Amino acid sequence: MLYLHPIYKKMRDNYNKDLAKNIKSILTEIGETPEREGLMKTPERVAKSMSFLTKGYKEDPAKILNKAIFAEDYSQMVLVKDIELYSLCEHHMLPFFGKCHIAYIPNGHIVGLSKIPRIVDVFSRRLQVQERLTDEIRDCLQESLNPKGVAVVIEAQHLCMQMRGVQKQHSSTTTSAFSGIFLNDDKTRSEFMNLIR
C-alpha cells in the first residue's frame, strides 16, 4: 500500500464522495432503485474503481522514465512484448483492452525494463483513443530516452464495438507508431514486426 498523507487521503475521499453522488443519480436515471440492498454500496465502489482506472492523470510518465535511465553501450533492439493493456475509450467510457509491444534502439542510454509497462499503465489509465495512446507512448519514450528509434504496436478489442453499436464481437484493432530508424529503415521495422508476430 502506498503511503498517502491524511490531507491527500481526505481530498481523495471527498472526490470519491462527489463521484459517488453522481453515480447514484445515474442509477436512478436508468430506472434502478439505488436504495435496494445490492446497490447500496455500488456508487461508492464505482467511484473508487473509476478513480483507479483514471489515476494516470495524476502521474507523470516522463518523470517515471527519467528516474531509471542508465548510460550503456548496448546498441541492438530492446523489445518488450505482450504488455497487458486496459484502458477506457473517451467516447463511451467503456473498456478497451489488449496487448502492447514496444521496442527501441538505444543511443547510449537504456531504461529500466519495468518502467516500460509502467508508462503503458499511466497513459492507459486515462480516457483514451487507441490511436493517441499509441502515439503518446512512442513520444514519451522518444523524448525521455532519445533512442535511435521507437516502435509501438497495440492490438486491442473495444467493448464499445462489441457490446453496442455494430456488435462485431471478434474484431480487433491494431495501431502502430514509429520514430527514427523504425520509420526510415524497412529492415529494422520488418525485424520488429517479425519478432512480435
Residues involved in catalysis: 89-92, 130, 158, 160
CB of 117 to Zn ion, least distance (A): 24
CB of 154 to Zn ion, least distance (A): 15
Nearer to Zn ion, 107 or 175 (CB): 175
E-strand stretches of the chain? 69-71, 78-89, 95-105, 109-111, 127-128, 149-158, 173-178
Q: Which region among 49-57, 74-82, 127-135, 153-161 touches Zn ion (by CB under 5 A)?
A: 153-161
Nearer to Zn ion, 54 or 107 (CB): 54
C-alpha cell belonging to residue 34: 439505488
Q: How many CB atoms lie within 10 A of CB 41?
A: 11
Would you give the binding string for Zn ion spanning residues 78-97, x where CB under 5 A is met? -----------x-xx-----
CB of 28 to Zn ion, least distance (A): 24
133 near Zn ion, rule: CB under 5 A:
no
The closest alpha carbon to 44, from 10, 12, 21, belongs to 21
CB of 163 to Zn ion, least distance (A): 10
Give the residues across from 155 on adjacent strands. Answer: 99, 174
How many residues sit close enough to Zn ion to count as binding (CB under 5 A)? 4
User: Do 12 and 50 form a contact (C-beta atoms < 8 A)?
Assistant: no
Beta strands 127-128 and 69-71: pairing type? unpaired
129 near Zn ion, rule: CB under 5 A:
no
Helix (H, G, I), strand (E, B) or coil at 109: strand
160 near Zn ion, rule: CB under 5 A:
yes
- Return residues touching Zn ion (CB under 5 A): 89, 91-92, 160
